[in-house]
Amino acid sequence: MSGKVLFVDSCVGREESRTLRLAEEYLKKHHGDSEVERIRLEEASIGPLTLEMRDYRDLVLGTGDLYDPMFRYARQFAEADEIVIAAPYWDLGFPAILKCYIEQIMVTGVTFEYTQDGMPSGLCKAHSLTYITTSGGYIEDRNFGFDYIRALCGMFGIGDVRCFTAEGLDIDGADVEKILEESAAAF
């Protein structure tokens, strides 16, 4: 694999984040030789989109200027060849900072557009997105965070969307190392 890889690190707080560790192993295995652009959402301090920001965005979009700094995350996302998202499984989904990031990248004219009949059409260059998560219990059919990201990829025009998980990490007696190793073996 080659090209520009964008790594969206949505892991929160923990220095010893298992999700981050799994994602780093994935990047090493598949993109060891590639240029990896990293965005650590916690450090980027991206807040929720406010009414003020929406108004400003509509104003700028009205001028056709897609190079306003406000669109930097959207442009970075649209220009990546491959995207990797790491997000711990929180409350059946993912941490709120990832939703804040999504609000920044959902920009018409940059990551997607609407056709004349009102259907979304993707503008992203990436052909694949890999979502990596770890959970305390078992996710089963409730991978809502990933399901949501996959639905968004339909709007972005990203066809190859996959998820790797390491589950049951917080269950009493869990052999965390073994679970992580087995998950990494599936990459």
Ligand X SMILES: Cc1cc2nc3c(=O)[nH]c(=O)nc-3n(C[C@H](O)[C@H](O)[C@H](O)COP(=O)(O)O)c2cc1C
Contact residues: ligand X, CB under 6 A: 11, 14, 17-20, 88-92, 134-137, 169-170
Minimal distance in Å, beta carbon 159 to ligand X?
28
Tell me whether residue 17 or residue 104 sits nearer to ligand X (CB atom).
17
Minimal distance in Å, beta carbon 93 to ligand X?
8
Q: Which residues contact 55 (CB under 8 A, 6 or more apart)?
A: none
Tell me whether residue 123 or residue 184 sits nearer to ligand X (CB atom).
184
DSSP assignment of 93-127, as one string?
B--HHHHHHHHHH--BTTTEEE-TTS-EEE----S
Tell me whether residue 130 or residue 135 sits nearer to ligand X (CB atom).
135
Tell me whether residue 43 or residue 91 sits nearer to ligand X (CB atom).
91
Minimal distance in Å, beta carbon 10 to ligand X?
9
Minimal distance in Å, beta carbon 25 to ligand X?
13
Minimal distance in Å, beta carbon 49 to ligand X?
22
Tell me whether residue 74 or residue 86 sits nearer to ligand X (CB atom).
86
CB-based contacts of 145-153 (< 8 A; 24+ apart in sequence): 145/87, 145/89, 145/90, 145/92, 145/93, 145/94, 145/98, 148/93, 149/85, 152/102, 152/106, 153/129
Minimal distance in Å, beta carbon 86 to ligand X?
8
Tell me whether residue 122 or residue 145 sits nearer to ligand X (CB atom).
145
Tokens (6 digits) for 101: 């990031």
CA 131 to CA 37: how far, in whole Å? 16
Quick one: which of 186, 184, 125 has its CA closest to 158? 125
CA 81 to CA 84: how far, in whole Å? 10
